[in-house]
């Protein structure tokens, strides 16, 4: 049995779009994230869908030998085409249950490009951290400058005194999946396993 299947070295909760977007780099970045997690004995925790970036990161994690924990509300099983080949697929009643389970099963959080649901998940888990509800590292993967306008808006909030540098310092932002994932996992006090694809 693959070591990652019996005891993962780390667990990454990934928030991302259920659509692919119109630029190839988004899909490729999701694929790279899954490859990195799976090839290093890791576990992906995500929203359980089989479409868009969600499906790409999950399929790539499984293909590389990692565990995949999908958590999806009953109402979205058909809409997002629940990924039936997850290592674990949990069908829950509400979005609140979904987000709670995903957060509990994660060591770190990584946000990829996505839409309104992805934004909401990112801001919620960031809010939870600033309030002390968890102390897990947060990463924002800025593929092709996707999140640059949002970061500019956050700087506006800083200038007007509604936020401070300490809050911004709770997020790690990067455009290289492998580098950002390694930083997050190490910040959680964990060590990524060896890259299985190179063994």
- Whether 186 contacts 180, CB under 8 Å: no
198 lies in a domain?
no
**What is the pLDDT, as a whole number, of residue 79?**
77
Regions in the chain scoring below 70 on pLDDT: 1-6, 196-199
Its pTM surpasses 0.85: yes
- Identify the pLDDT of residue 197: 60
Q: What is the DSSP string of 120-134?
A: HHHHHHHHHHHTTS-
DSSP conformation letters of 74-119: GGGTTTTTB-TTSSEEEEESSHHHHHHHHHHT-SEEEE-S--HHHH
Say if 53 falls within a structural domain: yes
How high is the pLDDT of residue 194? 72
Q: Is residue 106 part of a domain?
A: yes
pLDDT for position 193: 78
Cβ burial of 199 (10 Å; 0-12, 13-18, 19+) is exposed
Domain count, the chain: 1
Residues in a beta bridge with 67: 43
Residues of the domain holding 64 = 3-188
Is the residue at 30 inside a domain? yes
Q: Within the chain, what is the greatest distance between any pair of CA atoms? A: 54
Residue 11, domain CATH? 3.40.50.450
The pLDDT, as a whole number, for residue 198 is 58
How far is 180 from 70, CA to CA, in rounded Å?
22
pLDDT, tens digit, 9 for 90 and up, residues 20-32 = 988 889 999 999 9
- DSSP bridge partners of 172: 139
């Amino acid at each position: 049995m693959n070591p990652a299947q019996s005891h993962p070295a780390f667990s990454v909760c990934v928030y991302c779009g259920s659509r692919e977007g119109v630029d190839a780099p988004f899909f490729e970045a999701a694929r790279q994230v899954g490859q990195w997690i799976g090839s290093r004995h890791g576990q992906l925790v995500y929203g359980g869908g089989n479409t868009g970036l969600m499906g790409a990161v999950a399929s790539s994690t499984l293909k590389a030998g990692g565990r995949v924990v999908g958590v999806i509300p009953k109402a979205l099983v058909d809409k997002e085409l629940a990924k039936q080949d997850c290592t674990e697929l949990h069908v829950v009643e509400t979005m609140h249950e979904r987000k709670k389970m995903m957060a509990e099963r994660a060591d770190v959080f990584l946000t990829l490009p996505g839409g309104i649901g992805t934004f909401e998940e990112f801001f919620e888990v960031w809010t939870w951290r600033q309030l002390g509800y968890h102390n897990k590292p947060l990463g924002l993967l800025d593929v092709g400058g996707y999140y640059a306008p949002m970061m500019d808006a956050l700087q506006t909030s800083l200038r007007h005194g509604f936020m401070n540098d300490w809050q911004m310092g709770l997020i790690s932002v990067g455009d290289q999946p492998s580098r950002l994932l390694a930083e997050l996992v190490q910040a959680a006090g964990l060590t990524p396993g060896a890259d299985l694809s190179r063994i």
